[in-house]
Amino acid sequence: MRRIGLKFALTVIASLAGAGPVMAGESAAVRNCTWCHGTNAQGYTVAPRLAGQRSLYLESQIRSFRDHVRDTPFSKQYMWNAVAALPPDVAHDLARYFAAIPPKPANDGDRNYAAKGRSIYMEGIPEANIAACYACHGPNAEGIRDIPRLGGLSHDYLKTRLQQWGQGYHSTAGSPMPLVARTLGPDEIEALTSYLSFLN
Ligand code: HEC
Ligand code: HEC
C-alpha cells in the first residue's frame, strides 16, 4: 500500500504540476478546478471525476477540505489550498454545475473481477460482516442525497479511498465508511472497484 501511495504521488507531481486538459468556454472559476479534474471534470490522474456527482456530496466534501476534516495526503496537498478562499455561494454554484455534467465511466477496472464485485455490492458478505453497498449508494451506484455516486469513478481512485479509511484517514464527520471499509480485504476491494468503474 505504501508503495502504491508513492507511485501515485510521483504520477501526480509529474502530471498535476503541468496543466491538465482544459475545455474552451469554461468560466475562470470552473477552470480553477478543471485544470486538475480534467476536461469536463471527467477526472484526470488522481483528481477524481466531479461530473455527475451529487451536488450535496460535492458541497460536503468542499466543506471537509476547508475544515481540514478530509485529511488524506492528496487532500492536504491539493484540495486544502484549492478551496481555502472559496466563498460558500461559489462552492454551491460549482457543485451544481459539476453535478449537471453527464459523467463518463472510467472503465479501468479488471473485467474478471466485475461479477464478484457486483455480488458484494448488491448483497454484501453477511458471514464476513461486509455491508451491501447498495443499501446506501443505490441499486446502480448512482448515490442519493449527499451519499455519493460511485458508478463509473476510476478504479484507482476508489481503491485508494477504500484503503485509506482502513488506514485511519478521515473524510466526513460521522461517516459510516471507516467501519464499512475496515471489513474489506484486498480481494473485495479489487472486485468492488473493478465492478464500479464499468458502471454508467
Ligand atoms: C491542484 C489540483 C486540484 C485543483 C486545482 C482542484 N482539485 Fe479537487 N481534488 C484534487 C485531488 C488530487 C483530489 C483527490 C483527493 C483525495 O484523494 O482525497 C480532489 C478531490 C476533490 C473532491 C472530492 C471528490 C470526491 O469524489 O470525493 C472535490 C469535491 C473536489 N476535489 C472539488 C474541487 C473543486 C470545486 C475545485 C475548484 C475550486 C478543485 N477541486 C480544484 C485536485 C485538485
Ligand atoms: C450506511 C451507509 C453506507 C454503506 C452501507 C456504504 N456506504 Fe459508502 N458512503 C456512505 C456515505 C454517507 C459516504 C459519504 C461520506 C464519506 O465520504 O465519508 C460514502 C462514501 C463512499 C465513497 C467515497 C466516494 C468518493 O467519491 O470519494 C466510496 C468509495 C464508498 N462510499 C464505497 C462504498 C462501498 C464499496 C460500500 C460497500 C462495501 C459502501 N460504500 C457502503 C455511506 C455508505
105: in domain: no
Please tell me whether residues 15 and 93 are part of one structural domain.
yes
Strand partners, 144: 147
For 65-97, give the DSSP string.
HHTT----HHIIIIIHHHHHT--HHHHHHHHHH
Q: What is the pTM of this model?
A: 0.91
| Distance of CA 37 from the midpoint of ligand 1 (Å) | 7
Long-range pairs, 37-40, Cβ under 8 A, ≥24: 40/101
104: in domain: no
pLDDT average, residue stretch 118-128? 97
- Could you read off the pLDDT of 73-86 as tens digits, one per residue? 999 999 999 999 99
Quick check: 15 pLDDT over 80?
no
Please tell me whether residues 18 and 59 are part of one structural domain.
yes
Please tell me whether residues 152 and 176 are part of one structural domain.
yes
Cα–Cα dist 179/32, whole Å:
34
63: in domain: yes
Ligand with minimal distance to 47 CA: 1
Q: Is the CB of 131 under 6 A from ligand 2?
A: yes
CB atoms near residue 104 (< 10 Å)? 14
Please tell me whether residues 74 and 159 are part of one structural domain.
no
User: Which residue is closest in CA terms to ligand 2's atom 27?
Assistant: 161
pLDDT average, residue stretch 42-51? 97
State the closest ligand 1 atom to the C-alpha of 35, by its place in the atom list counted from 1. Answer: 5
Residue 66 domain boundaries: 2-99
Structurally, the chain folds into a number of domains equal to 2
Q: Is the CB of 175 under 6 A from ligand 1?
A: no
Specify the pLDDT at position 12: 45
Q: What are phi and psi of 157, to 5 degrees?
A: -65, -50
| Distance of CA 192 from the midpoint of ligand 2 (Å) | 12
Specify the pLDDT at position 26: 77
Q: Is the CB of 147 under 6 A from ligand 1?
A: no
Q: What is the CATH number of the domain that holds 153?
A: 1.10.760.10
Percent of all residues in the chain with a pLDDT value above 90, rounded to a whole number: 85
Mutate to test the pocket of ligand 1, among 78, 150, 165 (most ligand atoms within 8 A of CB): 78
